[in-house]
Structure 1
């Protein structure tokens, strides 16, 4: 049977302090390290001598640094690193991710038992930030794959493995949305990729605080994701995305990190029409009068 190789691609453009711990978690794999390589995508922040340190941490020779231009974006760094990787399976990680010791052996078993799989994702452990002792770790159990779930949320979690063939069906990671991972999985799904869920926590990641910019840009980034992949979404959702980007009053950003479905869009249009006609004010007045009548009923 053919032995598949795995390229673990780590985007470390800001030289994250968690990288050594990620490398340690990779070094503890129960099997499969002889068919794995680690590619660290950087932009000049790492010294070339760091490679020897990383090899000492992992016990692997197949660790290398790919340095790109200083202003490289996270999406472009990942795409360039993937193009230079040798594996026929790709895993894209951040330095704050960790792999369970059975990650690689589980992946081998999944692809052996389900050879049609193109994308593997698994449950994961969410860790509290290092300085926050008030939060404990929690396990995130993910559901079996459905297009409808991916149309609403980028729910796959960290440590998703994709075959090189399926990655080739996409245009890679895009720069025009914060939700670059979600966008890539949508591209793969739109191309007909088969997704397989492992009901066991194979990865962990730190619970990252959402920045003000991410919240402010949430609506735009979701709308761009929809426009990037219009054929994957309902026509009502595409209409919402176009209207949101045009600044039309009825198109709201919707819940954080959630794309509105067709019923949500219909409700937005209805609520906006009600406000425009003033019927929402009439309804509020009717409720107020009813409440007042109930309060005064004891005087009768």
Structure 2
């Protein structure tokens, strides 16, 4: 491990067409190129000449391709790449991300000025989608609070963490599609310090949510809770277990949002009311009242 070296790990298992644009954004960093290495994770689809081309684009010699067997999952591949990385700071990127020219300069300043920092995240820009399904704009993120992370995986793209923070976790888990969110929860549970930069240091493309993503949302959120039970209120843990067991009262809740203790209590209350038939009785009482009022008016 080399001190003050940033290892950029890019998962390109599907050879995304945006990879070159990401590498170009890295090459435009105002400083820090000499203290940087880039690891591109591939599964055999890249040409042997690609690393040479990447070096020409970025101006960085420390760039290499890590070939991963096609049977290995994305989470396992990123974990393997992190183990093989040389830097004491890690950043995991997708090919459709971009880095602001001041990203590395700002990151190094944060860790110099706030040495207690373990994980840095920043505001970001959501790029205009190609299918016109969403709006571009700056996404301003809040300062870190555990309560926010318990509800949403809000840290955005281009999160940078120290080697120490990485080693305090079990890495990216394979039992949830929200593996980034799960990793941040692991880091918070381990006591790491988060620092928010109030400036858009990264950008990413906006994608339309697929039917599969919506269908698996509840299970993936429940697995985050089960994986990290000490981070969540006991009511939320009960919700996660009940959802995975198919209990009728445990709803998936809002997309990409884990219900809070009050939300879980409300779910249980509403289900109990429906089970006892009180909701039907209430509707009948209201109907009878309305009918009585109407008859009274007619009589008058």
Normalised to the residue count of structure 2, the TM-score between the two structures is 0.95
Which residue is equivalent to 1:193? 192
CA offset at residue 130 of structure 1?
2.7
CA offset at residue 295 of structure 1?
6.6
1:30-49 matched pairs, under 5 angstroms: 30-49=30-49
Residues 134 and 206 in structure 2, CA contact (< 8 A), matched pair in contact too:
no
**Structure 1 residues 281 and 114, CA, compared in 2 at 3 Å: closer, same or farther?**
same
Residues 3 and 87 in structure 2, CA contact (< 8 A), matched pair in contact too:
no
1:175-214 matched pairs, under 5 angstroms: 175-214=174-213
Aligned to 2:111, what secondary structure does the other structure show? helix
Which residue is equivalent to 1:256? 255
Which residue is equivalent to 1:167? 166
CA offset at residue 48 of structure 1?
2.1
Aligned to 2:87, what secondary structure does the other structure show? coil
In 2, the alpha carbon distance for the partners of 1:220 and 1:66 equals 31
Aligned to 1:4, what secondary structure does the other structure show? strand
Unmatched tracts of structure 1, length 5 or more? none
CA offset at residue 86 of structure 1?
0.6
Residues 8 and 92 in structure 1, CA contact (< 8 A), matched pair in contact too:
yes
Which residue is equivalent to 1:102? 102
Residues 9 and 81 in structure 1, CA contact (< 8 A), matched pair in contact too:
yes
Q: How many residue pairs get matched? A: 298
Which residue is equivalent to 2:243? 244
In 1, the alpha carbon distance for the partners of 2:60 and 2:294 equals 77
Residues 244 and 252 in structure 1, CA contact (< 8 A), matched pair in contact too:
yes
In 2, the alpha carbon distance for the partners of 1:126 and 1:284 equals 46
Moved more, 159-168 or 290-299: 290-299
Which residue is equivalent to 1:88? 88
Normalised to the residue count of structure 1, the TM-score between the two structures is 0.95
Deviation track 1:166-193 (CA, whole Å, cap 9, x = no partner) reads: 1000000000000000000000000000
Which residue is equivalent to 1:231? 230
In 2, the alpha carbon distance for the partners of 1:25 and 1:267 equals 47
1:25-64 matched pairs, under 5 angstroms: 25-64=25-64
Say whether residues 1:271 and 2:270 are aligned partners.
yes
**Structure 1 residues 162 and 297, CA, compared in 2 at 3 Å: closer, same or farther?**
farther
In 1, the alpha carbon distance for the partners of 2:214 and 2:134 equals 22
CA offset at residue 84 of structure 1?
0.9
Runs of 4+ in 1 over 3 A off after TM superposition: 286-300
Which residue is equivalent to 1:119? 119
**Structure 1 residues 131 and 263, CA, compared in 2 at 3 Å: closer, same or farther?**
closer
Unmatched tracts of structure 2, length 5 or more? none
Residues 48 and 65 in structure 1, CA contact (< 8 A), matched pair in contact too:
no
CA offset at residue 61 of structure 1?
1.0
**Structure 1 residues 295 and 35, CA, compared in 2 at 3 Å: closer, same or farther?**
farther
CA offset at residue 71 of structure 1?
1.4
CA offset at residue 282 of structure 1?
1.9
Aligned-residue CA RMSD in angstroms? 1.6
In 2, the alpha carbon distance for the partners of 1:255 and 1:287 equals 30
**Structure 1 residues 195 and 295, CA, compared in 2 at 3 Å: closer, same or farther?**
farther
In 2, the alpha carbon distance for the partners of 1:258 and 1:203 equals 23
In 2, the alpha carbon distance for the partners of 1:149 and 1:80 equals 29
